[in-house]
Structures are given as C-alpha cells and as structure tokens.
Amino acid sequence: MVRGITPDNKEINMPKNIFIAATGKDIGKSTISFALIDKFQEAGHKVGFMKPLGQRWIDSPWGRVEEDVVLMKKIFDLAEDPRDMNPIVVKKGFTEEYLSKMIRPDLKSKIISGYQAVSEDKDYVIIEGTGHSGVGSVLDKSNAEVARLLNAQIVLVVDGGIGSSIDKLELNRTFFEASGLKVSGVIVNKVLESKASKVEHYIKKYCDSKNLHYYGLIPYSPILSNPTLGQVIEEIEPEIIHETGERKTVMDSFVVGASTTAEFMEFMQEKSGNILLVFPAVRLDLIMAIPNLVNFTQSEDLRIHTVLFSGKHRPSKGAIRTLINHDVNVLWEGGETFTVISELSSISIKTRAEDSSKIDEIRERVKEGIDFDLVDSNIKPTKPQIPVMVTIKKQMGKIWAKVLYRFRKIKQFFQQFKK
C-alpha cells in the first residue's frame, strides 16, 4: 500500500484503483473483476471491490444490492458493507424519478462515500462498470464520469473478434478520452480457440497503434457463457414438475423440437453436453422418442438433462412419468414456444456464489489468460479528488451517530428509575 500526504500533513492510503470497463453488456466485466481480486488476494494484498451503479439487484441480507457485489462479498469474504460497495441501485423507475426532479439526488457524494469505505487500508480497489462506456449518462454518471470521479485507471474488456471488436474498442476508447481519461489496456474475452492466434495478432496491432497495453486473451468457455439450470428456473419461473436436484449444472445448449421425429433424432446425434429441450407439450411423438434418445445417447458426452414444455396445456401424466423414469428434469412454461425461446435467449449470464463450476472455471482458465504483472506495473496508486462537502457530510454523520448513542444511553439511565 502506498501512503500519500494531504496538504495539512495528514497521511492517507493510496490504493491502485482499477476500473473494469467493457464495450457492451455481458462481455465479462464480472469475470475479469473476479480474476483480479482472486489473483491479488492470492498474493497477499488487501483488495476492495465496488460497483458504483448496479442495475441487476437482488434481495440480500444487506437489502437490495447488485448481484455482482453479493458474489464478491461471499466468495472473497470482503468486510465492507455491500451498500457501500454498491452505493447506487438503479431500480425500476429510478431514471424517470431522477430526471423529473428539479433538485436531483447527490449521486456523486454517494459514490465517493462508498469508495472511502471500500478503499480504507486497501492495496487495490477493483471498480466494475456497467454496460458500455456511456451507460449511466442519463444519470450524469457514465462509466467515464465515475472513473474520472474516482481517479481510476481503465482496463477495457471486449468480446473476441477482429473487425467488430476493434470498432467497439475504438468507440469506447474515444468516449473515455473525450472525458479526459486514458485507457490503460485491453483484455479480449470469449475468443474461439480456433481463432485465438489471429484475434490476438490484430488486437495487439490495434493496441500498439493507440498506445494501449495488451493485457491478455481469454478463450471462449461454454461453462461461463451458458446458464445453469438454477438460473433458467429463476429467470423463466416455470412450473417445476420434476427436479433432480442439479440446479448448479450448466446447460451446454438449448434444442427446440420443431422438426419431425426422424429429423430430431438425427440432429441430436451431433449434440454433446447437457441438453435442455424445448417443445410444446402436445408433441407426443417427441416425448415418446426421448426414452430411445436417452438410451441411445447416455454417455459422458451427452445427456438429455431437462425438458422445458411450452404451450397452454400442461404435459400429460404419462409424458411426465416417462421423463421422470429416465431422470430428466421436467419444467412447464405456459405460452408459445417462440416466446419461451426468446426468454431463454435473453437470460443475462451471471456467476453466482453457489455456481461452483463457474468459479472453478474462472480460477483455472480465465486467470491463465491475463498478464497480471503487466497490469500491476502499469496501474499507479491514486486517490480521488474528494469534494469538501463530502468530507463534511461524513464527519457530520460520525458526530450525529455519537450524539444518538449518547442520547440512547441517557434515556436508558432515566428509564431504570421509572421502573
């Protein structure tokens, strides 16, 4: 930890503030943040984490907070209050309420107060952004503005590719630079192994041309890119007809039963992994074909793991019994098959504290792709420029807390005489 001196000769700690930004949604910011925290903690450093603006909140023991904060809190046993780690929770209606007010909430003070709590005595603070660089602009707190506010250095994450990836990198890089910030370096995520060498060559070439550091490449991982059965159930909220107790299992692919039985059987012979089948409950031909398919494909490479029925009518008792006898999870979501598939496709893939296979994947594969030493050597200790009013509010809060404590003690003292 680096120490700094304030103008009035007070010593303050100056951690390395690393802002994990991305070129879009679901690119892998949380995965990269997790890997950095894990690596730095492994090396014996004190690490803080925060996600200033959280859009995907969940109910937790600490109230409604961003789900990534809950993940980091639980896995890394972070001591800080999640409400400091996620000072602004963007709930439904928050944006409209913010825009409609003549005197708007002081989001800047909330972010800085949260940062002060999270960064105390830390060597590193990992700050995770939300969406692309401009997200949050409607609240006057884009990712660029938050990074500038906290004086953080930016690591930009992009998904694997060449042309489209470089276009997105340039768009986001110029947005940050227009805000007076320089991107430190780039991490390429979700790269198909067959294209890894070509992608790396051209992304490195781009980084060299823009004076950016190339921090690494992470191969595409089906485990990290697909939902678990538990997440499917949570997001879709189907009726659970039968469950085998395997919610942590990752669904390797979805298959829609929209063809003839013969075509379906032929298509399935080319599949592998844990399969989630989706088709209407009235397709009795496919239901009756599943036992043969299960017997044919039961190997380490493929398993009919779950059937998600669609349609207005619940599957028949006979169909349900057939699937239960073959150890298949059975779900039913009323509605058209197209609607159900759309819901599955729109699931935002996240890693949760109970997703052991995903966490193991991050620790085993993701960390291998990042040059942590290069990241560390190019990120310098900094401290945010804290407005005087934020400091005053914090001190007044401490004083008020002491006043309330004294008042309660005095009240308790006099109450004992009344008895």
pLDDT at 300: 61
Summarised one tens digit per residue, pLDDT across range 43-75 is: 999 999 999 998 888 888 888 899 999 999 999
pLDDT at 52: 95
Residue range 72-81: average pLDDT?
A: 94
Is the pLDDT at 9 greater than 50? The verdict is no
193 and 318 together in one domain? no
Distance CA(171)–CA(156), nearest Å, equals: 11
Please give the structure tokens belonging to residue 232. Answer: 């499917």
Is the pLDDT at 297 greater than 80? The verdict is no
Q: Which amino acid belongs to residue 282?
A: V
248 and 323 together in one domain? yes
Q: What CATH number does residue 104 fall under? A: 3.40.50.300
Is the pLDDT at 393 greater than 60? The verdict is no
6 and 126 together in one domain? yes
Is the pLDDT at 22 greater than 80? The verdict is yes
307 and 361 together in one domain? no
The answer to whether position 403 is within a domain reads: no
State the pTM of this model.
Answer: 0.81
Q: If pLDDT is split at 50, 70 and 90, which confidence band does 192 have?
A: very high
Please give the structure tokens belonging to residue 149. Answer: 């506010």
Summarised one tens digit per residue, pLDDT across range 351-363 is: 888 889 999 999 9
210 and 63 together in one domain? yes
38 and 117 together in one domain? yes
- Cα dist. 8→4, 5, 88 in Å? 11, 8, 31
241 and 210 together in one domain? no
73 and 203 together in one domain? yes
- Tally the domains of the chain: 2
Q: Tell me which of 110-119, 246-255, 294-303 is least confident.
A: 294-303
The answer to whether position 37 is within a domain reads: yes
pLDDT at 309: 92
Vertex 207 angle, CA 373 and 225, to 5°: 75
Q: Tell me which of 108-112, 335-339, 373-377 is least confident.
A: 335-339
The answer to whether position 96 is within a domain reads: yes
The answer to whether position 397 is within a domain reads: no
Non-local (6+) Cβ contacts of 105 within 8 A are 98
364 and 303 together in one domain? no
pLDDT at 371: 96
118: left (phi over 0), alpha (psi -120 to 50) or beta: alpha
User: Is 31 or 265 the better-scoring residue by pLDDT?
Assistant: 31
Non-local (6+) Cβ contacts of 265 within 8 A are 289, 292, 293, 296
Helix locations, 77-162, DSSP H = 82-85, 94-100, 107-119, 143-149
Distance CA(396)–CA(314), nearest Å, equals: 60
The answer to whether position 314 is within a domain reads: yes
Non-local (6+) Cβ contacts of 45 within 8 A are 123, 124
Average pLDDT, the chain: 87
- Residue 334: φ, ψ to 5°: -60, 140
User: Is 35 or 365 the better-scoring residue by pLDDT?
Assistant: 35
pLDDT at 7: 46
6 and 129 together in one domain? yes
Distance CA(236)–CA(340), nearest Å, equals: 8
Which of 313, 345, 377 represents a domain boundary (last residue)?
A: 345
pLDDT at 417: 62
User: Is 6 or 214 the better-scoring residue by pLDDT?
Assistant: 214
The answer to whether position 274 is within a domain reads: yes
Distance CA(160)–CA(213), nearest Å, equals: 17
Q: What CATH number does residue 320 fall under? A: 3.40.1390.20
Residue range 370-396: average pLDDT?
A: 75
Q: Tell me which of 32-46, 208-222, 287-301, 391-405 is least confident.
A: 391-405
Domain limits at 306? 227-345
pLDDT at 388: 46
218 and 231 together in one domain? no
The answer to whether position 170 is within a domain reads: yes
53 and 69 together in one domain? yes
Summarised one tens digit per residue, pLDDT across range 215-268 is: 999 999 999 999 999 999 999 999 999 999 999 999 998 888 878 888 887 787
> Facing residues of 216 across strands?
187, 370
Please give the structure tokens belonging to residue 288. Answer: 């009756």
Residue range 298-307: average pLDDT?
A: 76
Is the pLDDT at 5 greater than 70? The verdict is no
The answer to whether position 323 is within a domain reads: yes
In the chain, % of residues over pLDDT 70 = 87
